[in-house]
């Protein structure tokens, strides 16, 4: 009886290893990008958007942000975002991997439900204001891979809504 149990455990471990390995191989990268023109000066838009403490004011799903240190934004900063999605709360730790004042910055997830995601923000001065481009790249696999086309449309719609909220908020100042 013990021998049969050991064989079952071994088979289970082999199956788990195979599933994990094959899931990673078959992950795909989803990219969504949106941009908007905001009738405010470049510096003002950049300073507001790059401060993660402001995220809950203009990102609909963001409930709270925990910054690891109270200082002006810079490369290497780490923070945790708490969102509510599909009726549940999720925490995702992030690191700011690049930071060029008044030009661009990138935040990369260090864990959470979708750990392989990167958010790029690019700012460009235009006549009368600022163009902000916000893009996300995320590696999706398993069941999420099957839902990728639907998920992509949902994310794109949410990016558009968040940028519209940001525009309204900043232009009302």
Cα 35 from Cα 117, distance rounded (Å): 19
Q: What is the pLDDT of residue 70?
A: 82
Domains of the chain: 26-171 (3.30.530.20)
Q: What pTM, to 2 d.p., does this model score?
A: 0.81
- For residue 23, pLDDT beyond 50: no
DSSP-assigned letter for residue 1: -
- For residue 69, pLDDT beyond 60: yes
Cα 141 from Cα 28, distance rounded (Å): 6
Between 26 and 97, residue with greater pLDDT: 97
Q: Are strands 117-126 and 129-140 parallel, antiparallel or unpaired?
A: antiparallel
Which strands form 88-100's sheet, in the order they lie side by side? 28-38, 129-140, 117-126, 104-109, 88-100, 78-85, 62-67
Listed in order, strand segments (DSSP E) in 13-166 are: 28-38, 62-67, 78-85, 88-100, 104-109, 117-126, 129-140
């Amino acid at each position: 009886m013990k021998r049969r149990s050991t064989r079952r455990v071994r088979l289970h471990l082999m199956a788990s290893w195979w599933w994990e390995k094959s899931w990673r191989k078959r992950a795909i990268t989803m990219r969504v990008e949106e941009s908007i023109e905001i009738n405010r000066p470049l510096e003002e838009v950049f300073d507001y958007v790059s401060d993660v403490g402001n995220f809950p004011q203009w990102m609909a799903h963001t409930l709270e942000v925990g910054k690891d240190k109270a200082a002006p934004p810079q490369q290497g900063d780490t923070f945790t975002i708490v969102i509510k999605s599909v009726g549940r709360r999720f925490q995702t730790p992030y690191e700011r991997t690049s930071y060029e004042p008044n030009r661009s910055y990138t935040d990369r997830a260090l864990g959470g439900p979708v750990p392989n995601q990167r958010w790029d923000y690019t700012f460009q001065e235009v006549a009368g204001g600022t163009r902000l481009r916000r893009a996300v790249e995320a590696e999706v696999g398993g069941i999420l891979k099957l839902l990728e086309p639907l998920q992509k449309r949902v994310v794109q719609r949410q990016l558009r809504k968040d940028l519209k909220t940001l525009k309204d908020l900043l232009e009302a100042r």
